[in-house]
Amino acid sequence: MSPLPSPDHNAIMSQFAALVDDGFLLLDRQFNIVMANIMATRYLGENLIGMAIDDVLVSPQLDHDLDVITEHRQSTEMVASSAKDDRRRFRVRLRAIDEHLIGVLVMDMTLQHNLEKVRRDFVANVSHELRSPLTSLIGFIETMQSPMPIDDATRARFLSIMDEEARRMSRLINDLLSLSRVETEEHISPTQTIAVDKLVRSAMMALSNRAQKVNRTIFFRDKTGRGKNNDDDIMILGVHDEMMEVFHNLLDNAIKYGFNNTDITVEMTAPDAHHIAFTVINQGEGIEEKHLPRLTERFYRADKSRSRQMGGTGLGLAIVKHIVNRHRGTIEITSEIGGQTRFTITLPLA
Ligand X SMILES: Nc1ncnc2c1ncn2[C@@H]1O[C@H](COP(=O)(O)OP(=O)(O)OP(=O)(O)O)[C@@H](O)[C@H]1O
Residues of this chain that interact with ligand X (CB under 6 A) are 175, 249, 253-254, 257, 282, 284, 287, 295, 301-303, 307, 312-318, 341
Out of 316, 320, 321, 335, the residue judged to bind Mg ion by CB under 5 A: 316
Q: What are phi and psi of 95, to 5 degrees?
A: -155, 135
Give the angle subtended at the CA of 130 by the CAs of 126 and 136, to the nearest 5°. 160
Left if phi > 0, otherwise alpha if psi is -120 to 50, otherwise beta: which for 311? left
How many Cβ atoms are within 10 Å of 30's Cβ, its own excluded?
8
Nearer to ligand X, 82 or 282 (CB): 282
Of 169 and 235, which has the nearer Cβ to Mg ion? 169
Task: Check residue 253 for interaction with Mg ion (CB under 5 A).
Answer: yes
**Cα 255 to Cα 302: distance, rounded to the nearest angstrom:** 16
Positions of E strands within 17-146: 23-27, 33-36, 57-58, 75-82, 89-96, 102-108
Residue 239 or 246 with smaller CB distance to ligand X: 246
Phi–psi pair at 272, nearest 5 degrees: -160, -175
- Please choose, out of 61-69, 128-136, 236-244, 253-261, the segment that lies near Mg ion by the rule CB under 5 A: 253-261
What residue is closest to ligand X based on CB? 316
- CA separation for the pair 50, 98 (Å, rounded): 19
Contact (Cβ atoms closer than 8 angstroms) between residue 341 and residue 257:
yes
Sign, Cα dihedral of 181, 187, 193, 198: positive
- State which residue, 93 or 291, has the beta carbon closest to ligand X: 291
**Dihedral sign of CA atoms 123, 127, 128, 130 in order:** positive
Choose one: 65-73, 120-128, 266-274, 312-320; the region binding Mg ion (CB under 5 A).
312-320
Footprint of Mg ion on 168-187 (CB under 5 A):
none
At its nearest, how many Å lie between Mg ion and the CB of residue 93?
Answer: 47
Stretch that binds Mg ion, among 162-170, 274-282, 315-323, 338-346 (CB under 5 A): 315-323
Nearer to ligand X, 271 or 338 (CB): 338
Neighbours of 326 (CB within 10 A): 19
Kindly tell me which of 133 and 316 has the beta carbon lying closer to ligand X. Answer: 316
Nearer to ligand X, 154 or 212 (CB): 212
Strands 264-272, 218-222: pairing is parallel
Q: Which residues pair with 32 in a beta bridge?
A: 52
Least distance from ligand X to the Cβ atom of residue 327, Å: 18
- Answer for the pair 97, 103: CB distance below 8 angstroms, yes or no: yes
Q: Tell me how far, at minimum, the Cβ of 188 lies from ligand X, in Å.
A: 23
Should residue 282 be labelled a site residue for Mg ion when binding is judged by CB under 5 A?
Answer: no
Kindly indicate which of the ranges 4-12, 151-159, 251-259, 275-283 contains the residues binding Mg ion, using the contact rule CB under 5 A: 251-259
Chain residues that interact with Mg ion, rule: CB under 5 A: 253, 316
